[in-house]
Chains A and B, each alone.
Chain A
């Protein structure tokens, strides 16, 4: 079955450490997205990519970095510069064929930084 795999499901890190969240999709989608979700704040876009080797900042990119070396993969690094990294992180993908193509989501990674 096609889908999006995020790993790990739970991640614990000490403050000051960089951490990389994995996102892989086998839907053959061109576009991939990273969102951050905090209680009561909905989904906020961190980065997105519409093609390999290219990506754009979303609304809250500071303290994060991404790469898109393969169409299937869009890892997110949470750097030590991110002031409040504890959150639920969601990866999504979509086709670019039509403007109304919906997003497909992974099951998320819950990051806790202490």
Chain B
């Protein structure tokens, strides 16, 4: 069965520093990959998604992610974070053969001044 692992539960970082949030998934023939962000006491919103094609995907708020099929990873990056990026980030995978969305447990990003 498909599974998603977010390797860090918490990532503290200083403002304007780069950040990488890591996500690995179990192997599958074809997958769709998503990153969502959740600000405190709110619902989730889509940051970006990978469907096919270019392995580097750009999303909202300056975030990007790279799909690596050989390493079954989909890490999220931002070159310079802001205080406002403090939030919970979720990686999710949908197997191309069914519609079930498998979620990681989330990574809490804390941006400090």
List chain A positions with a Cβ less than 8 A from chain B: 4, 6, 40-43, 90, 92, 96, 99-100, 102-108, 110
Contacts and interface: CB of A to CB of B under 8 A. Distances in A.
Nearest to A41: B105
Contacts of A92: 43-44
B34 A102 contact: yes
A99 B32 CA distance: 8
Contact of B42 (A99, A100, A108): A108
B17 interface: no
Interface in B65-113: 90, 94, 96, 99, 101, 103-106
Contacts, number: 45
Contacts of B51: 100
Interface residues of B, number: 21
Nearest to B33: A100
Nearest 10 Cβ contacts at the A-B interface? A105-B43, A42-B105, A100-B32, A105-B44, A102-B46, A107-B43, A43-B103, A100-B51, A42-B103, A106-B43
Counting chain A CB atoms within 10 Å of each CB, which of B34, B43, B46, B90 scores highest?
B43
Contacts of A96: 99
A112 B73 CA distance: 37
Contact of B43 (A40, A42, A90, A102): A90
A103 B103 contact: no
Contact of A105 (B41, B45, B49, B99): B45
Interface string B38-63: 00011111100101000000000000
B41 A99 contact: no
A42 B106 contact: yes
A68 B64 CA distance: 37
A101 B106 CA distance: 21
A99 B95 CA distance: 9
